Amino acid sequence: MVDIWNAIFYYPILNIVVIAYHFLWDNLGLAIIAIAIIFRLILLPLMKKQTEMTKKMSSLKPQLQELQTKYKNNPQKLSQEQMKLYQKVGYNPLGCLVTFLPQLLILSVLIQVIRNVTNGSLDGIYPFVSNWINNGMGITINAEFLIWDLTRSYNDVANEFGRLSTISLFYLLLCVLVGFSQYLMSKFTQIMQDPLAFSTAKEEKKKSKKDGEPLSPEELQKKMMNSFMLILPFSTVFIAISAPSALSLYWIVQSLMLVFQYVILDWDKTKEGFQNLLTIYKDKKKNKS
């Protein structure tokens, strides 16, 4: 089973990373950035399908609300009518797995590759790659990128130089950027999925507080999503603190690339989302003054 995993997934990606490293002036940081961009572009068709389905589901929102009102006392009938509506647009509840699983697979392989490359373990390099790069004499990876040694984590550096030393803080900054990019990606995705929600969220929140009414299921779901959007970045920062900095660099780039993908796939909705953000910013500024 391990041999199959290596032959189909691990070895090809390992060799792609090494080839990218060679092409990009023996710079591991640039190679990781390039790999993150390449794999995000490979996943673009799947992202396009997901975006199209999200659009279709958004168009069903008024009809779904009508069904919920009409069959609020008949959950079984409501479920049947909802399924009919979903079938009309070709929605498959398991369709998200088609997009999620390849991303999870690529990430898990890349984590393994990055860990091994930064540890100097290059078992699995194809002979023709080794001959082409270094005449079969073996390949040495230089892990220095800007001010970071990509083989080291914040914990490693902090244990050697102290947690608040200048060099340690630079490594911590990279970990914090991982969390920030994750939060930015989650927030941006949420806005793109429902741009109008952000223009009405503040008014609904005030109204709910004023009336003293309990939160609706939709509002509870939004609160849970907002909590998850905070928990995920903090969890990622926690992992990044003890992981090689190479992994942090990959996470940052792939999160920013996801935002870029949404912009490419749905520019009109992206523009609408940015307009809503600008409106929120102006409202906050007006309230402060």
pLDDT tens across 86-95, in order? 777 666 655 5
Q: Backbone phi, then psi, for 173, in 5-degree steps?
A: -60, -40
∠ at Cα 21 (16, 23), nearest 5°? 95
- Residue spans of beta strands (DSSP E) within the chain: 144-145, 148-149
pLDDT band at 98 (very low <50, low <70, confident <90, very high): low
Question: Residue 118: which of 253, 10, 246 has the closest Cα?
Answer: 246
Residue for token pair 């490419």: 264
**Does the reported pTM lie above 0.75?**
no
Q: What region does 222 belong to: left with phi over 0, alpha with psi -120 to 50, or beta?
A: alpha
- Per mean pLDDT, which of 40-54, 158-172, 182-196, 217-231 is the most reliable? 158-172
pLDDT of residue 68: 76
Domain ranges of the chain: 1-61+91-142, 150-289
**Using DSSP, how many helices (H) and how many strands (E) does the chain show?**
14, 2
On the CB side of 150, CA atoms within 13 Å amount to 25
Q: What tens digit of pLDDT does each residue of 226-279 get?
A: 666 678 788 888 889 998 898 899 989 988 888 777 777 766 666 666 666 666
